């Protein structure tokens, strides 16, 4: 029983660590997009932003997304939370963040092709999604209101 308790704590620690990494990327990438869109197409600066965005996604964001999901699902099973309402709401919000991540990856590819569909203001507003969602998730996990 003590081994399971220790494993739970390691799972939780890993989950929190990789959530922090993932959230950092979710906050940084839209800001990168704002600066990227200000660079002239075909310029050296434009190429630098494409490379930065690619590295952020490849080195931090994609691995963190998969590890967060892995640890999170392991925690849900070990704590038998999948039967609780707060967990269902948290899972829905994590799905929202995952969809946002996919949208960011798609927009990065569009920017790399020279397609600039959104304004800097729109990107700044979209950058609020991870903050609001993370705040709601923290409340659900800590307070467990239902």
pLDDT in tens, 64-119: 999 999 999 999 988 889 899 999 999 999 999 999 999 999 999 999 999 999 99
pLDDT in tens, 20-47: 999 999 999 999 999 999 999 999 999 9
pLDDT at 5: 73
pLDDT in tens, 55-64: 999 999 999 9
pLDDT at 3: 73
Question: Residues annotated in the binding site, as ranges?
Answer: 15, 90
The total number of residues shown for the chain amounts to: 146
Q: Which candidate, 101, 90, 88, places its Cα nearest to that of 130?
A: 101
Question: Residues annotated in the binding site for heme, as ranges?
Answer: 15, 90
pLDDT at 115: 94
pLDDT at 1: 57
What is d(CA 65, CA 20) in angstroms, rounded to the nearest whole number?
11
With bands split at pLDDT 50, 70 and 90, how would you rate the model's confidence at 6? confident
pLDDT at 97: 98
Q: Which candidate, 72, 61, 95, 97, places its Cα nearest to that of 14?
A: 72
What is d(CA 96, CA 12) in angstroms, rounded to the nearest whole number?
21
pLDDT at 109: 97
């Amino acid at each position: 029983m003590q081994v399971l308790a220790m494993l739970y704590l390691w799972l939780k620690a890993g989950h929190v660590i990789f959530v922090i990494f993932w959230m950092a990327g979710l906050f940084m990438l839209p800001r990168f997009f704002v600066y990227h869109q200000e660079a002239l197409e075909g310029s050296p600066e434009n190429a630098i932003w494409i490379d930065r965005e690619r590295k952020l996604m490849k080195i931090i964001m994609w691995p963190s997304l998969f590890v967060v999901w892995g640890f999170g699902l392991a925690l849900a099973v070990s704590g038998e939370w999948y039967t609780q309402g707060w967990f269902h709401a948290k899972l829905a919000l994590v799905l929202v963040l995952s969809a946002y991540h996919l949208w960011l990856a798609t927009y990065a590819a569009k920017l790399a092709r020279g397609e600039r569909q959104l304004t800097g203001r729109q990107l700044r507003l979209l950058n609020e999604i991870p903050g609001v969602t993370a705040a709601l998730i923290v409340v659900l996990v800590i307070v467990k209101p239902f």
